[in-house]
Amino acid sequence: MKRYFDDNVFKVFLKDFSFLFKIIEASKGELDLKIRPRNSFNLYYKGYSLAKVEFCTGLPYKILINTKFLDFGKDGYILKKENRFFGNPSAKGEGYVSFRVSAHHLHPFFQKKYLKGICQNINKVSSSGELMFEQMLITDNLNREDVFFIDRQITETSLNKKRMDLLALKRTSNNKYHFLLIEVKLGNNQELREDVGVQLNQYLKHINNNFDAWKQCYEKNYQQVKETNIFKKPDFKKIEIVNKTKGEVAVCGYSGVGKEYLENLKRTYPKIKVKQFKFYL
């Protein structure tokens, strides 16, 4: 469990990506940065991974971007095929382009023109209502002292790479917080019958069984992200995570269809807290 940078890498990260932190802050939550294992991070746009950036000791950065977001056409990539970016189809997996970018060329690579083009392509292909709902939950709760979304789309090999939707920190007192795991579903998702209850209980058990590792990981994660100044609140430079992990299911839309599913979920898992969001005119 390691979703934070090595100390020596973190110093380089702060220096090389200071320009990007300002862009993320100005986006009011539409752009989001999450630290990943093995000294890497994902840059998200509206819940979609815009780019995965990997640190390579003594070498240029490795940046993976989904081909759908680069818009292959007559003119090639949105990121023009310049020698300084070394863009090639990735051997790591289909559907991605792997760029090799020196620290000196990071700012030109992530310039606003290219970011805007990639974001426009994501808007064209995005289709997940649940990702959109996740994004609304995050952006509508920015800069709160009592709740902070620290991670999203979390996978663990011991859970067969199943994905946890959102991980928040909820304040108990002073700078003490506890984990709040949130599974996000649309009201017409049949997983609301029982599957989401099974998933959530499995995830909570996993966190509780490995609490010390999760605590150490996300206390360090919070401290490092706080140093980027991407977010202003909470104000604490450091936090303490206490062993009081909770889980919730957040449900949006399709209230008529979802009513039966939710009633069954509450009967089967009475201890699971469900928050339902409805749209009204």
Phi, psi of 17 (to 5 degrees): -115, 20
Q: CA torsion, points 115, 121, 126, 131, in degrees to nearest 10?
A: 0
The token pair at 152 is: 């999203």
The token pair at 178 is: 């506890």
Residue 91 has a pLDDT of 47
The token pair at 223 is: 């401290």
Q: Work out the mean pLDDT of the chain and round it to a whole number.
A: 87
Q: By CB neighbour count within 10 A (0-12 exposed, 13-18 middle, 19+ buried), where does 118 fall? A: buried
Residue-wise pLDDT tens digits, 241-267: 999 999 998 888 766 767 777 888 888
Q: Where are the alpha helices (DSSP H) in 141-210?
A: 195-209
The token pair at 113 is: 């023109």
Phi, psi of 193 (to 5 degrees): -60, -60
Question: H-helix or E-strand containing 41?
Answer: strand 40-45
Strand 48-54 versus strand 61-66 pairing type: antiparallel
Residue 269 has a pLDDT of 84
Q: What is the pTM of this model?
A: 0.89
Q: Class for domain 7-127, per CATH? A: alpha beta
Residue 86 has a pLDDT of 63
Residue 70 has a pLDDT of 85
Domain boundaries along the sequence of the chain: 7-127, 131-277
**How does pLDDT run along the chain (281 residues), one tens digit per residue?**
899 999 999 999 999 999 999 999 999 889 999 999 999 999 999 889 999 999 987 778 999 999 889 876 665 666 765 656 666 655 445 688 888 888 999 999 999 888 999 999 999 887 778 888 888 899 989 889 999 999 999 988 777 778 899 999 999 999 999 999 999 888 777 777 778 888 898 999 999 999 999 999 999 999 999 999 999 899 999 999 999 999 998 888 766 767 777 888 888 888 888 887 776 66
CA distance 81 to 74: 12
Residue 75 has a pLDDT of 58
Contacts of 88 (CB under 8 A, 6+ apart): 97, 98, 99
CA distance 166 to 134: 8
Residue 279 has a pLDDT of 66
Q: In what order do the strands lie in the sheet with 61-66?
A: 31-36, 40-45, 48-54, 61-66, 96-101, 88-89
Residue 74 has a pLDDT of 60
